[in-house]
Chain A
Amino acid sequence: MLKIKQLSLKLSDRPVLQQISLQMASGLNVIVGPNGSGKTSLLRCIAGLLPVEQGEVLWRGESLSATPVQERAKLLSYLAQNPPVHWPITARALVELGRLNPRESQQQADQAIDRAMGLCLVSQFADRRMDQLSGGERARVLLARALAVEADLLLVDEPNAALDPAQQLAMMQILANQGKAGKTVLCVLHDLPLASRFADHLIVLQGGRLVVEGKPETVLPGPELRAAFGLAFDAKGHFV
């Protein structure tokens, strides 16, 4: 259970997050909202990349910001939007980066890496270089790195950027499966129909504030979402 209490954050004196309180259970939790609504900042705050200035982020009752960095690295895993890959390493070498714990045996690490690569359907091109993969394959290898950590809290920022519809579905299915397996997945999305199809819980942010949260089928056609985006949507997330 991830619990956020009265979380506020300012970046260069501009309020980015204001008094956000949320609870997320295991399953696929999706955050949506217009550009600049604070979705990525919220994720980065939970991941420890932005300071928690006011309020608290609690994971299973313990404050995440008070947890030492190396302990926190075992509790959560973070996949940034379009993360850079600076060297043309192989897919396998990239997934191994999720498992660099020096206290772990090589065998244990290898098993976790194999599992993650299997879940993301990337085992068959383990030895291919990252710069020789298609956009969809590359995105799934990056997700496999995040899954190889085998943390119970998974933070994913816009995993579908620049993917074709089939790849988007594949990506969301992997995340939904993680949620079904008992992980707490928190995913930023722009695509409301995808959110409607896969999310267990939908959270809407606007201007750094929590606007509404709940089941996708009730949130999507609601007046709050219409106000946030300036467009009306049906229960499937299509604008009408």
Chain B
Amino acid sequence: MTRLVFILTVLLFGLVFLSLSLGAQSIGLADWLAALIGQGDPVDRIVLWQIRLPRSLLALVVGAGLGASGAALQGLLRNPLADPAVVGVSSSASLMAALMIYSGWASTMPWAISVAAMVGAAVAALFLLALSAARASATGLILGGVALSSLATALTALLMNLSPNPWALSEIAYWLMGSVADRSLSDVMLAAPLTALGIIVLVRAGRGLDLLTLGEDTAMVSGFSVVRTGRLVVLGTMLCVGAGVAVAGAVGFVGLAAPHLVRPFLGHQPGRLVFPSALVGGALLLVADMVSRGLSGPGTQLYLGVVTALLGAPLFLFLIWRYQREHL
């Protein structure tokens, strides 16, 4: 595991540097290095530090939070198809954030979106936990999550339908497509600590998640509190997804994909997957953001959430197909 974490960390550094060197403004290597250490052309410095760096760091942070949440949710719900977006955590967070934009509170209170997104994420995660406590089957849980997701999406559509002015409507619409473009370092400062805290909480749930492999009875007799493990995952998911949605809008499927990419290397123990999934999630979103930039032409911006959904939906179908084949 240590080796994989090391390799992934190196990969992440590489991707961040690659991401920093790509963009509309072409900067030569020497100028780029000079700008990176705060020297050289002031325009290059602004491009690098105020446009590209926040964007790359946010992709990394948001992706890491989604990857860790996906791994922990899959472990808690004992279902390889769980993902913050699929089971309605992201859409509930989005609904609450859209409500803040709709009501205008987002413009008067800068923290309103973050808090609202986290509340939305927590309510959804608690709902899933209650479903799993009621001994819903793996399919039942996913279906419950899908129903929750549909409800949140419908309510968000209702908000857009009733939006008081075109500005609020377009604001919600763009925001729902998910993006890390045009963000500032203050967004990074908001999301990074919350996400880091969330990942720590999720990693701490690891042993409990491992024991849940054998079901709740065995975990309980082994001295592990199933309730505590559930709470840790809800809290961690709330922090990671809430913070992620607050700064980047709705970005799906990273949480689904990341653990599946780690499993061939580390096996299926859910607890061991959490941290490496965070690293892979960060890498995935960095790549997706570079793809979205690469495909965006002058005047047309391709949103990050659109790219992850386009890449993620086929993956989801593939996983369902494989899952069905293994369990029938």
Which residues in A have some Cβ–Cβ distance to B below 8 Å? 44, 47-49, 69-74, 76-78, 80, 83-90, 93-94, 97-98, 100, 102, 129, 131, 145, 149
Contacts and interface: CB of A to CB of B under 8 A. Distances in A.
A84 B219 CA distance: 12
A70 B223 contact: yes
Interface stretch (B24-32, B204-212, B314-322): B204-212
Interface string B254-295: 000000000000011110000000000000000000000000
B217 A80 contact: yes
A45 to B, nearest CB: 12
A86 B212 contact: yes
Given A87-B78, A89-B267, A90-B267, A100 B222 contact: yes
Nearest to B77: A86
- Give the interface size bracket for B toward A: 20 to 34
A89 B268 contact: yes
B221 interface: yes
A83 B270 contact: no
Nearest to B210: A97
Pairs A-B, 9 closest by C-beta atoms: A73-B223, A87-B268, A86-B78, A70-B223, A78-B221, A84-B215, A89-B268, A47-B221, A87-B213
Interface of B: 78, 207, 210-215, 217-218, 220-225, 267-270, 326
Contacts of B213: 85-87, 89, 94, 97
Contact of B269 (A74, A80, A84, A87): A87
Contacts of B218: 78, 80, 83, 97
Given A93-B267, A100-B210, A102-B207, A86 B215 contact: yes
Contacts of B270: 87
B223 A97 contact: no
Contacts of B207: 100, 102
B305 to A, nearest CB: 30
Contacts of A74: 223
B223 A69 contact: yes
Nearest to A47: B221
Nearest to A73: B223
Contacts of B210: 97, 100
B78 to A, nearest CB: 4
Given A69-B223, A87-B269, A89-B268, A97 B214 contact: yes
Contacts of B78: 86-87
Nearest to A98: B222
Contacts of B211: 97, 100
B217 A73 contact: no
B248 to A, nearest CB: 30
Given A47-B221, A48-B221, A69-B220, A80 B268 contact: no
Nearest to B215: A84
A73 B267 contact: no
A84 B216 CA distance: 10
B212 to A, nearest CB: 7
B223 A78 contact: no
A129 B326 CA distance: 14
A143 to B, nearest CB: 12
Given A47-B217, A73-B223, A102-B207, 6 more contacts: A44-B217, A69-B225, A70-B223, A71-B223, A89-B267, A94-B214
29 contacts: A44-B217, A48-B221, A49-B220, A69-B220, A69-B225, A73-B222, A73-B223, A74-B223, A77-B221, A78-B217, A78-B218, A80-B215, A83-B214, A83-B215, A84-B214, A84-B215, A85-B214, A86-B213, A86-B214, A86-B215, A87-B213, A87-B268, A88-B268, A90-B267, A94-B213, A97-B210, A97-B211, A100-B207, A100-B211
Contacts of A145: 214
A197 B218 CA distance: 29
Given A89-B269, A90-B267, A97-B210, A83 B217 contact: yes
Contacts of B214: 83-86, 94, 97, 145
A131 B213 CA distance: 13
B223 A72 contact: yes
A48 to B, nearest CB: 7
Contacts of B222: 73, 97-98, 100, 149
A162 B132 CA distance: 28
A19 B74 CA distance: 43
Contacts of A89: 213, 267-269
A80 to B, nearest CB: 6
Nearest to B78: A86
Contacts of B220: 48-49, 69
A3 to B, nearest CB: 20
